[in-house]
Amino acid sequence: DAVEISLKDIDQLAKSSFPLCMRHMLDKLRENHHLKHGGRMQFGLFLKGAGLKLEDALAFWRAEFSQKVGSERFDKEYAYSIRHNYGKEGKRTDYTPYSCQKIISATPGVGDHHGCPYRHFGDENLRAALNKMGVGGHALEEIMDKVKNRHYQLACTLTFEATHGVSCDSGINHPNQYFSESQKVLR
Ligand code: SF4
């Protein structure tokens, strides 16, 4: 990956270039200082794919989780799985970030924040989240129409277009693709 993101840029990059699924998880992580397993996998692998190095990833998760569970428990119970995602533990598989298809077919339960907002949010929550991204009016109605017809990736593509002011001919099929297309436009 050409892009490399650093710890201090995450919030800024989330605002400018993360797809809604990943913005949502960052918001929840900042709010609760915790994410359940499904969220840690989906978000953690996305950040890795976006170019966050292992040391920064550990610092990032530790800063939040230690506020909730303490840094000792973080180091004992959570650091392993982060290193694991980077292929530094266990079978040393280098795990790849999840595609939209995989994320859309997830089944988040109560207290989970992973999944695809276009698929898993209720109507009102989705509208509010899109408003927060600055999407309203005709563009918002078009997005909601795609959602109604279960075209979640098209809804995400329209969101990309509305927030970046360019067309995305390839369509969105991966959160890391959304991120890199956005960086291409903004850089
Ligand atoms: Fe994330 Fe893909 Fe859903 Fe967009 S369509 S919010 S990138 S899972």
Residues 6+ apart with CB under 8 A from 16: 182, 186
Q: What's the rounded Cα separation, in Å, for the pair 20 and 130?
A: 8
In this prediction, residue 102 carries a pLDDT of 97
Round to whole Å and give the CA distance between 162 and 133. 10
Q: For all residues of the chain together, what is the average pLDDT?
A: 95
* Nearest protein CA to atom 2 of ligand 1, as residue: 100
pLDDT at res. 1: 45
pLDDT at 94: 65
Closest atom of ligand 1 to 103 CA is 8
Structure tokens at 53: 């190095």
The model's pLDDT over 116-130, given as tens digits with 9 standing for 90+, comes to 999 999 999 999 999
Cα(42) to centroid of ligand 1, in Å?
11
Q: Whose CA is nearest to atom 7 of ligand 1?
A: 175
Ligand 1 pocket, residues with Cβ under 6 angstroms: 19-21, 100, 103-104, 116-118, 152-153, 156, 172, 175, 178
Q: Measured between alpha carbons, how far is 106 from 152 in angstroms, rounded to an integer?
A: 13
Atom of ligand 1 nearest to the CA of 177: 7
- Ligand 1 center to residue 66 CA distance, Å? 29
